[in-house]
């Protein structure tokens, strides 16, 4: 029993030390705010906008996810990455409804910064027949 107890205590101590090291590493990260502009619609089927931040590195290549509002959990419909200018866009040809876009939080621990997440306001898109 004593040997098992010593092993359990050793494993627990190693876990606590690893957790402390991770917390110390994340404490030095610089956090940059980002936002999605209001987004625009064209012809009722195209929804596009841009990622905006004080630092350009948080605008390029950001994962933007399109959600459809519905009762209960909203449904993830599509995703893409913003281009080198921070622009993104989705085309909805099948079904209409109320949608919004979110950009995900991106951690760049090796580079010492984090780009925070943001959400664009809701928009209404109308569906047009599949082309």
The pLDDT, as a whole number, for residue 115 is 95
Sketch the domain layout of the chain as residue ranges.
30-125
The pLDDT, as a whole number, for residue 58 is 94
Max CA-CA distance within the chain? 73
Mean pLDDT by 10 residues, the chain (131 residues): 59 54 60 87 82 93 93 93 92 82 90 93 72 40
CATH fold, domain 30-125, is Immunoglobulin-like (2.60.40)
**Sequence-ordered strand ranges (E) for 1-131:** 30-32, 34-36, 40-42, 46-53, 63-68, 75-81, 87-91, 97-103, 106-108, 113-115, 118-119, 123-125
pTM for the complete prediction? 0.70
The pLDDT, as a whole number, for residue 41 is 81
């Amino acid at each position: 029993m004593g040997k098992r107890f010593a092993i359990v205590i050793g494993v627990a101590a190693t876990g606590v030390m690893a957790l402390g090291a991770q917390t110390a590493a994340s404490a030095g990260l610089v956090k940059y705010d980002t936002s999605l502009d209001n987004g625009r619609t064209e012809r009722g089927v195209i929804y596009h906008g841009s990622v905006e931040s004080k630092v350009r590195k948080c605008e390029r290549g950001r994962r933007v996810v399109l959600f459809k509002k519905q009762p209960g959990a909203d449904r993830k419909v599509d995703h893409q990455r913003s281009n080198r200018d921070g622009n993104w866009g989705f085309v909805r040809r099948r079904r209409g409804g109320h949608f919004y876009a979110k950009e995900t939080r991106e951690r760049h621990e090796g580079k010492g910064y984090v780009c925070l997440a943001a959400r664009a306001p809701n928009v209404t898109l109308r569906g047009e027949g599949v082309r």
